[in-house]
Every structure is written in C-alpha cells, then in structure tokens.
Amino acid sequence: MTRSVPAMPPVPTRVRTEPASFRDPANRVFHVGDEVLRGLDAQAAEHWRALTASAFFPALLAAGKVCATEDAPPALVPAGLPWAAVLRHERIPFVSHPYEWSFAMLRDAALLHTEILGAALADGFTTKDGSAYNLQWHGVQPVFIDVGSFEPERDGEPWAGYRQFCQTALYPLLLTAHLGVHFQPWLRAQVDGIEAEQLRPLFGGTRRLRPGVLTHLHLHGAMQHRNAAASTTDVRAQLRAAGFSRELLLSTVRGIEKLLHRLDRRPTGSHWADYQRTCGYSAQDRTAKEQFVAAALTAGTRPRLVLDLGANDGRYSRLAAAYADYVVAVEQDPAVVDDLYRALRAEGQQRVLPLVLDLADPSPGGGWRGVERAGFAERADADAVLALAVVHHLAIGRNVPLPEIVDWLAGLTARGGAVVVEFVHPEDPMARRLLANKPEGFFSDYRRDAFEALLAARGRITERLELPSGTRTLYRAVMGG
Amino acid sequence: MPATALTISVRWQKSGFLGQKPHRCTPGTPVSTRGEDKERSVIHLAYLDAGSGSLIVQAVVGGVAGVAVAAKLYWRRLVDRFRRQPTDQR
C-alpha cells in the first residue's frame, strides 16, 4: 500500500500548534489550514536528511507503515517560523487514542512499533520514545506517525522508549490478556499509561508465571524502584562498559515481538456481542432500513466522514463505506469492537475505523490542560451521522433527555451534514423491555411526535420511513440548514 | 584515569544483587572509572527520561547474553564499592 501526500491547496496563513506535540522540543507539529506540518530544529533536520537517505525508512513509507511525509513546499510554510526545516504529513482521517482501541488493535499497533524499531535498529537508527500514541489508523491498518522520533542509534545503548512502551502498550495488553480486565479505562485515566507498581499487586502467586509478567513487569518494576536514584547517564555508561550492544537490543526487541504474538486473548463479550441476532428485526425491516440508509447517504454530496454511533457488528458501517470516504464505527463494548476489527481486517476493508466508546460517557479531553488528547466531541465533525437503534438506549437506558440527544447529534454533524436516525417507538418490544426497568410514566415525553419536533427544530427533515413492523421510524435530517 | 585518583564519598548499603543502590552520595558524581568516562562523553540524553531501571532490565530480557551483561554490570558495581571503601574511611 503506497500513499502520497495529497496535492497542495492554496496557501493559508494561520498557524495552529498541535496541542499533543510539545514533549520533544526538537520538533513540533502544527497546522496551517488543513495541512499537517512538522517543524524541525537543526539537529532534527539533520536526522531527517539521514533518514531519507537510509534504506529502511523509504521502505516503511512505501509500505504505508509510516505516514506519508515529505519536505514541505516552501510556499506552504508561513514566514518567521523558528524551524530549520519543515515537513508535510498526510492527514490522518480521524485521530484516535489507544484507550479507544480494542485489544487486538492495541496489540497490532504495538507490533508495528516493534517492527519499525527493529527495522530502524538494523539500519543504524532508533526511536527516541515508545508511546502507543505514536500510532494512528488508516481504517484497520496501523500507521506510525511520529517521524520526529527517529534518530541515529548509538551502539551500546538500550532503547529509551522501553518504559513508555511498557506503560502505554505492553502493560495494558497484559491486563486484558492475562486477567480479562479491559484496559481502556486505565489508559484513559492516565495519559502516561499504567505504571508497573500499579499492576504488580494484581499479578501475585502463579500469575507471575504468565508470559511476560516476571520480566517486563515484576523485574522491571523492582529495578525501577531500586535504581530510582541512579542517573540514566551513569547507567548507560555502565551498560556500555559491561558489553551492551545493538545485537542485544535487537534480541530484546525480538523477544517483545514474540511476547506480543503470544498475547492473543479475545475479550469476553457482553450482551451486545449477540445484539444483531437478538434485537428482533424482521427481514423486511432490515431490507427497508438498509435501502433507507443507502439512499440517505447518497442524497447529497459524497460524505468524507461518517460516524456510525452504536455500530455493533458494523453492518451499517460497511454499508456506509460504499458511499463515503471514511467511516468511524463507534461501539461501547470492547469485545464487540475487537470482533469487528478482526472481521474488517480479514475482509480487507480499508475505510472503516472501529473504536471503543460509550456514547453516554465519550472520551473527554486528557493530558496537559485537558487538551493534549482531544476529547471525542472536539474530533467529531462528520458529514453524516448514523444513529440507528441508539436513541432509545440513551433516552431510556441512560436517562438522557430527548432534547439533549438531538442537540448532541447536531453537535457531531458538520453544518449542512446529514443525520440518519432511527426512533424506536415506546410500543416496540425493545423499548418496552427498557421501559419495564423504569418507573411507569417516567418517560412520558419519549414519543415519536416529540422526537420529530425536536429534530425539525434543529434541522430539516428530508426523508422519513416507518419500518414494516410499525414500531420504528427512520429519519434523514440535514442539520443547520 | 586510575580509579584511586577519584575522591568519591561512598556510603555502604546492604542490598540484593539486582537491587543494589547506586554507590554514590552526590547526584551527578561519576560512578566508575573503567573506561566509562571516555564513553560518557559521547552519550546524548534523550528528551524522554528513559528510567535507569528500565535501561538495565532490557539487558536481562534480551536472553542469556543479556543476563551476562547485567551480571557484569552488577559485578563491577560490587567491586567498585569494595575498592572505594578505604577511600571513604580516610
């Protein structure tokens, strides 16, 4: 798979620094209009030149494993910037964070990181860091985005990114693979990942013997504790004098790769895992619904980004991918997303990105000042939003008022974009099942006419279809116009 | 530079093999003299604090050869402590 940076648009002038790019002062990502640029200081510029002359880096670029990058055309770079060189990156269709990925996604992203590190080491380079946040997605293909992380390797030094890699990738995977605990809430809570000392108490007794636990977790944690006062400069010198070599580091990286391959546990599913089979659509309902969604997505200009909220097994995400450039399939159950990810990879589907996200508790802003990792609402600006069989779960299951839900849908949609939403009538068996758990009369405003009025107040309803079963209605509304 | 030429204050602490405390009292003071000073001059610190323990453990997880490197590192630390003990008592 080969990609190139798309053709250059007219030059905008406003520079907006990327809030997630500040930790390494040698380079920084910034935006000029829709362009993604990276400024390099003198030494980083030198490293970039060496990188382009290397054997491994162009090969990774050609394989689509590193995001497409080139020297920025001078016309694109605003005057007065302090950088020695400026690079231009391809734009990632939808930025996501590791706590929104499923187990297999994080594992595949980690494997790509080690593959890239191995290729770099074999060619005399290394990566300065080892964060899972260095990876993003093109559909279900992971891609390494931190081009500024590459630097010439100094023989005899261990990998500076190992601790970061453990905290943001390996430990979360150990948690899920060995204990069956979903890692996403842990990663979401701590931008620097899970520390060894937090995880060690959970891996006592015979759990110490599970793959990777004794060395990467317990020994690593103990050594961190015992060497906390030692400077890394001294330790690097001691290791080099003791004979640490590039071959040894490569062997360590291969060992991590081998471990990652062994960590292959499918997370246990909840009731959502079987939802499509149990949710009770008739064949006629399903056909009518698919036809409505297809027509709704082709009624206007081709959507660039479609959000499928409550995607479940991805049936409508796949459908949308036929009519849109990119689809983000959002589902709250990590096991369902894991299955969807594996299925999409097996199908070779390139335009659907599955993400783990609870719609009633979406990713907030995280990290420094709450903006280093953008919240879901800040990233979502879709040309079309699919909210199929999801409103009743929010309104009845999570007690979210209907006006709030419609406002939220409007907020996720770009001006002039379409919302395709399914309203499940209170008489529908699924709605009745949800209402049975709540006090009688509690949701008196949960009515089709009330929902339709709210939708009409925030957009223009262009299509409406009651499904053959008579208990569900589909709408297409153009928001903000 | 011979080891004895350095005047380093050393505090003896009993600890396990892998868990030996670094044998210096003043942060930033050179630790060993077995050719490491020359090598230290070419070491560049990364923007990321790699963590001393995280650097050492990479040798151990690298297999048999790595364990030998780690053992050598700790053996040298141990020997250096005994060598500097008389200096400390002066």
Please write the tens of the pLDDT for every residue from A142-165.
999 999 999 999 888 999 999 999
B82 Cα to chain A: minimum distance (Å): 17
Nearest-CA residue of chain B relative to A255?
A: B62
Q: For the CA atoms of A49, A51, A54, A55, what is the dihedral angle to 10 degrees?
A: -140
**Range in A254-258, A476-480, B31-35, B74-78 with the lowest mean pLDDT:** B31-35
Nearest-CA residue of chain B relative to A127?
A: B46
Arch. (CATH architecture) of A271-479: 3-Layer(aba) Sandwich (3.40)
Write the residue in B39, B54, B58 that is nearest to A224 by C-beta. Answer: B54
Who wins on pLDDT, B23 or A353? A353
**What mean pLDDT do residues A351-358 have?**
98
Predicted local confidence at residue A2, as pLDDT: 52
**How many residues does the structure list for chain B?**
90
Chain B residues whose beta carbon lies within 8 Å of the beta carbon of residue A233: 40, 43, 45
What is d(CA A128, CA A251) in angstroms, rounded to the nearest whole number?
18
Q: How confident is the model at residue B77 (pLDDT cuts 50, 70, 90)?
A: confident
Q: In DSSP terms, which residues pair with A89 in a beta bridge?
A: A36, A69
B2 Cα to chain A: minimum distance (Å): 16
- Asked if B18's CB is within 8 angstroms of A129's CB, the reply is no
**Range in A112-121, A248-257, B37-46 with the lowest mean pLDDT:** B37-46
A387-421 pLDDT tens trace: 999 999 999 999 999 999 999 999 999 999 999 99
List A residues 114-143 in contact with B (Cβ-Cβ < 8 A): 128-129
| A42 close to B (CB below 8 A) | no
Predicted local confidence at residue B23, as pLDDT: 39
Q: How confident is the model at residue B80 (pLDDT cuts 50, 70, 90)?
A: confident
Q: How confident is the model at residue B28 (pLDDT cuts 50, 70, 90)?
A: very low
Residue B49 has pLDDT above 90, yes or no: no
Chain A residues whose beta carbon lies within 8 Å of the beta carbon of residue B68: 243
Query: Mapping DSSP to helix (H, G, I), strand (E, B) and coil, where does residue A36 land?
Result: strand
Convert A177-213 into a string of H (helix), E (strand) and C (coil).
HHHCCCCHHHHHHCCCCCCHHHHHHHCCHHHHHCCCH
Cβ neighbour number for residue B2 with a 10 Å cutoff: 6
What is d(CA A447, CA A258) in angstroms, rounded to the nearest whole number?
55
Query: Mapping DSSP to helix (H, G, I), strand (E, B) and coil, where does residue A308 land?
Result: strand
Enclosing H/E stretch for A268: none
Predicted local confidence at residue B40, as pLDDT: 43
**End-to-end Cα separation, chain A, in angstroms:** 39
- Asked if A227's CB is within 8 angstroms of B56's CB, the reply is yes
Nearest-CA residue of chain A relative to B62?
A: A252
- Contact assessment for residue A307 and residue A359, using Cβ atoms and an 8 Å cutoff: no
What is d(CA B78, CA B90) in angstroms, rounded to the nearest whole number?
20
Predicted local confidence at residue B30, as pLDDT: 37
Predicted local confidence at residue B82, as pLDDT: 82
R_g of chain A computed on alpha carbons: 24
**Range in A269-278, A368-377, A412-421, B26-35 with the lowest mean pLDDT:** B26-35
Residue A375 has pLDDT above 60, yes or no: yes
Strands A125-127 and A135-138: unpaired
Nearest-CA residue of chain B relative to A162?
A: B54
**What mean pLDDT do residues A221-229 have?**
93
For B26, list phi and psi in degrees, rounded to 5.
-100, 120
A440-449 burial code (b ≥16 CB/10 A, e <16): eeebeebebe
Measured in whole angstroms, how far is the alpha carbon of residue B49 from the centre of its chain? Answer: 18
User: Which one of B11, B56, B73, B77 makes the best mutation probe of the A interface by having the most chain A beta carbons within 10 Å?
Assistant: B56
What is d(CA B77, CA B71) in angstroms, rounded to the nearest whole number?
10
Q: What share of chain A is helix, strand, coil (3-state, %, to 5)?
A: 45, 20, 35
CATH 3.40.50.150 in chain A, residue ranges: 271-479
Interface size A-B, in CB pairs within 8 Å, comes to 172
Q: How confident is the model at residue A270 (pLDDT cuts 50, 70, 90)?
A: low
Query: Side chain identity at A229, as an amino acid letter?
Result: A
Strands A150-152 and A125-127: antiparallel
| B3 close to A (CB below 8 A) | no
- Asked if B44's CB is within 8 angstroms of A238's CB, the reply is no
Nearest-CA residue of chain B relative to A27?
A: B47
Chain A residues whose beta carbon lies within 8 Å of the beta carbon of residue B27: 229, 231
| B41 close to A (CB below 8 A) | no
A414-469 pLDDT tens trace: 999 999 999 999 999 989 988 888 888 788 889 999 999 999 999 999 999 999 99
Predicted local confidence at residue B62, as pLDDT: 82
B89 Cα to chain A: minimum distance (Å): 23
Residue A169 has pLDDT above 80, yes or no: yes
A34-71 pLDDT tens trace: 999 999 999 999 999 999 999 999 999 999 999 999 99
Token output for A55: 């054997």
Predicted local confidence at residue B71, as pLDDT: 87
Residue A9 has pLDDT above 60, yes or no: no
A65-93 pLDDT tens trace: 999 999 999 999 998 899 999 999 999 99
- Contact assessment for residue B60 and residue B67, using Cβ atoms and an 8 Å cutoff: yes
List B residues 70-89 in contact with A (Cβ-Cβ < 8 A): 70, 72-73, 76-77
Predicted local confidence at residue B24, as pLDDT: 39
A235 Cα to chain B: minimum distance (Å): 6
pLDDT over 70 for what percent of chain A? 94
Residue A428 DSSP symbol: S
pLDDT over 90 for what percent of chain A? 84
Predicted local confidence at residue B38, as pLDDT: 41
- Contact assessment for residue B52 and residue A235, using Cβ atoms and an 8 Å cutoff: yes
What is d(CA A133, CA A113) in angstroms, rounded to the nearest whole number?
10
Residue A264 has pLDDT above 90, yes or no: no
Who wins on pLDDT, A401 or B9? A401
Predicted local confidence at residue A203, as pLDDT: 97
List A residues 228-257 in contact with B (Cβ-Cβ < 8 A): 228-244, 247-249, 251-252, 255-256
| B60 close to A (CB below 8 A) | yes
| pLDDT, averaged across chain B | 60
Residue A5 has pLDDT above 80, yes or no: no
Who wins on pLDDT, A386 or B50? A386
> Which residues neighbour A215 within 8 Å (Cβ) at sequence distance 6 or greater?
B57, B60, B61
Enclosing H/E stretch for A15: strand A15-17
